[in-house]
């Protein structure tokens, strides 16, 4: 096992939280939790990344709004479209949803959300 100052960065790929191994030359990624198909538990946990390929162990950088990101992405009907990576914001995801006709339900983001800027203008003008 190798401990390093490298940091893995959490992102969402097809609705699943993953992180790419930060070790140069290693192209592995680890997922969070148990895989629904294989049952394999990934090397990405709340505070630690463990690469099954190169055995790197390091810290993970998670966004502050994990739950909001997950909730907004979950409203997308096609798992292949549930993707997020820094520096995207929850607002960016909401705008993408609106552009594709996915309207948030009343419970989204804890009971409400704010649409601003171009998305608000588009909604109010009937563009989306
Ligand atoms: Zn690795």
What HEC string does 49-65 produce? Answer: EECCCCCEEEEEECCCC
CA–centroid distance, residue 8 to ligand 1 (Å): 10
Q: Which DSSP state fits 44?
A: B
Rounded to an integer, what distance in angstroms lies between the CA atom of residue 26 and that of residue 30?
12
- Structure pTM? 0.80
Taking alpha carbons only, the member of 92, 93, 68, 95 closest to residue 82 is 93
CA–centroid distance, residue 5 to ligand 1 (Å): 14
CA–centroid distance, residue 39 to ligand 1 (Å): 21
Q: Give the residue carrying structure tokens 């191994």.
A: 21
Domain spans of the chain, in order of start = 2-61, 66-125
Q: Which helix (H) or strand (E) segment is 95 a member of?
A: helix 90-99
pLDDT tens profile 21-59: 999 999 999 999 998 889 999 999 999 999 999 999 999
């Amino acid at each position: 096992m190798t401990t390093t100052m490298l940091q893995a960065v959490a992102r969402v790929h097809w609705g699943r939280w993953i992180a790419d191994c930060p070790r140069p030359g290693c192209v592995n990624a680890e997922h969070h939790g148990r895989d629904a198909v294989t049952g394999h538990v990934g090397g990405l946990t709340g505070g630690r990344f463990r690469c099954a390929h190169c055995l790197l162990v390091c810290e993970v950088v998670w966004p502050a709004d994990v739950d909001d990101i997950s909730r907004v992405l979950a409203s997308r009907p096609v798992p292949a479209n549930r993707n997020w990576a820094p520096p995207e914001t929850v607002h960016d995801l909401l705008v993408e949803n609106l552009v594709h006709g996915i309207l948030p339900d009343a419970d989204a983001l804890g009971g409400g959300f704010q649409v601003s800027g171009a998305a608000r203008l588009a909604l109010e003008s009937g563009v989306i």
